[in-house]
Structure 1
């Protein structure tokens, strides 16, 4: 078995998409940035993500019935940074978010979000893996033209037309 630091070093170099996950349980709302979000299945529409059991959001997420998964673009870097910051009230600026009729907080400036009902929680080492079924979505046309946002080697990166790999070089 490899050492934890070696494992972390390997995955630190693997770029991941960035999402902001929000939830509300009994009036307590949380928001956190995650780079562990993945599509699992299109039919049914399933998504998964994981969080550390020591995350300040872990308790609320373990009790949540549903979450909002905001799929962020480079234009949403401020949201990614907000969810990653510690010791701040992520909901202090009430002009940035609203509450869905189902109770979850949503940041509309994220052009793509999914409301997902949690169907499985799996303890996995020092994390909990959540599997959720997407039951509602909002996809804004403005997100199509915005560059993507990935996290790699402890830094945010913008991906877009400027970062396309040369197909001829990849084939060789």
Structure 2
């Protein structure tokens, strides 16, 4: 039976699948990098592990792929500016020094993110034109607000959306 799977059909299928939005930062020693990721997923609770993929097409890919640690920022709708910053190519994502800082351990992080997870890279897996990064959460910060008080940022059909009571179906 012939396959109906093509890159165009695959892209169209996942364009119809909504995903949470995160910003990943890293510094492998030559300066910080950031990218917006919609592939973040939890893998294990004990030990606390998550994963995300990094496309070779991303200018941040070499830095993120070479880093020993990363910071995964789980974004709410109020951080749309950070999602757009990480998704825009050809710019200096760290030009505005008022948006970011460094943790005492050296990792770069954006100040405005509601949840930040500092993580150690434990596995890098080459898959097609991407790398899947499996990371172990070392520190989780940013629970200063009630988790239900911020609307999650979601990417769907090439657009940014927020979830809230208006979108609840049950």
Q: CA deviation at 1:143?
A: 5.8
Question: Is residue 11 of structure 2 the alignment partner of residue 5 of structure 1?
Answer: no
- Following the alignment from structure 2 to structure 1, what is the Cα–Cα distance between the partners of residues 146 and 30? 30
Of 81, 84, 93, which aligns to 2:84? 81
Gaps of 5+ in 2: none
Q: CA deviation at 1:162?
A: 1.2
Match of 1:151 in 2: 155
How many residues matched? 166
> Does the 8 A contact of 2:26 with 2:34 survive in 1?
yes
After the TM superposition, which segments of 4 or more aligned residues of structure 1 sit over 4 Å from their partners? none
> Does the 8 A contact of 2:113 with 2:142 survive in 1?
no
Q: CA deviation at 1:61?
A: 1.4
- Higher deviation after alignment, 135-144 or 76-85: 135-144
Question: Is residue 99 of structure 2 the alignment partner of residue 96 of structure 1?
Answer: yes
Please give the TM-score of this superposition, normalised by the length of structure 1: 0.93
Q: Which residues in structure 2 correspond to 1:132-171 (within 5 Å)?
A: 132-142=135-145, 144=147, 145-165=149-169, 167=170
Match of 1:65 in 2: 68
> Does the 8 A contact of 1:98 with 1:107 survive in 2?
yes
Query: Secondary structure of 1:80's partner?
Result: helix
Please give the TM-score of this superposition, normalised by the length of structure 2: 0.94
Question: Is residue 66 of structure 2 the alignment partner of residue 28 of structure 1?
Answer: no
- Following the alignment from structure 1 to structure 2, what is the Cα–Cα distance between the partners of residues 54 and 97? 24
